[in-house]
Amino acid sequence: MVSLAPQEVKEVCLDMAARDEIHFKFKSDHPVAFNIHYHDSPTVQFPVQLNKVTEISENFFAKVSQSYCLMWTNKTPMRTRLFYQVDGP
């Protein structure tokens, strides 16, 4: 569990090969912005991008070998607790 202040970001990055799979889930007290992204110089690619989410449990498959980052942003004016788990690869 982490506690996110307003506008604070939590990021977890994983090296994944093409076709690797992870399972991720999270729950927060208040809605957060969530994405999975990777840097493909000079741009950032967002295979997953969600807004105002409080709970999710999903699988993600890497299409290309990259360092993928799961990122949560608290866009509310109040502190929120974030419980998360990432399994694999």
pTM of model > 0.85: yes
Sign of the torsion formed by the C-alpha atoms of 2, 32, 86 and 89: negative
Residue 83 CA, chain-centre distance (Å), reads 12
Which pLDDT tens digits describe the chain residue by residue (89 residues)? 999 999 999 999 999 999 999 999 999 999 999 999 999 989 999 999 999 999 999 999 999 999 999 999 999 999 999 999 999 98
3-state secondary structure of 67: strand
Residue 5 is which amino acid?
A
| Domain count across the chain | 1
Which pLDDT belongs to residue 89?
85
Owning domain of residue 13: 2-87
CATH of the domain at 65: 2.60.120.680
pLDDT of residue 78: 97
